[in-house]
Amino acid sequence: MDFVLQNIWLVLLAAMSGFMLFGGDIFGRISGIKQIGPQEAVLLFNRDDALVLDVREQSEWTDGHISRAKHIPLGQLKSRLSDLEKFKGKPIVAVCRSGNRSGNACSMLKKAGFENLHNLAGGMSAWEQAGLPREKK
């Protein structure tokens, strides 16, 4: 107990680090939005014909994207939900640069009644680090 009191900042830093590591997974379980890595995403594409929804801006999309991804920038998603109605029963993997905007997109889709939602943790950065291909068109 003396150690904890004498090193309260160290203890708080360790607690915050642990929450940052595991908090996203806990939030995903509670919210119904699963955080997945690039390899899990590839399995969803190949096995379940998942839709890849890229919510990055046009310049990011042009720089390189996942093959066969549907591009709807996050700022346009709410007004373009009707474009996704036919995918309501399919798994959807949302993608952005780092995983933050795609997490917001998943939340928006969840509110609109979509259920099989996955956020690519680490986004395109994780995709590229895994050595997976990008398409430029």
Residue 27 and residue 118: Cα distance in Å, rounded? 13
User: Strand 33-36 and strand 117-120: pairing?
Assistant: parallel
State yes or no: is 106 an active-site residue.
Answer: no
Task: Assign 109 to helix, strand or coil.
Answer: helix
Size of the chain in residues: 137
Task: Assign 72 to helix, strand or coil.
Answer: coil
Residue 81 and residue 6: Cα distance in Å, rounded? 53
Task: Assign 26 to helix, strand or coil.
Answer: helix
Task: Judge contact between 31 and 111, C-beta under 8 A.
Answer: no
Q: Which entry of 36, 66, 74, 96 is annotated as an active-site residue? A: 96
Known catalytic residues are 96
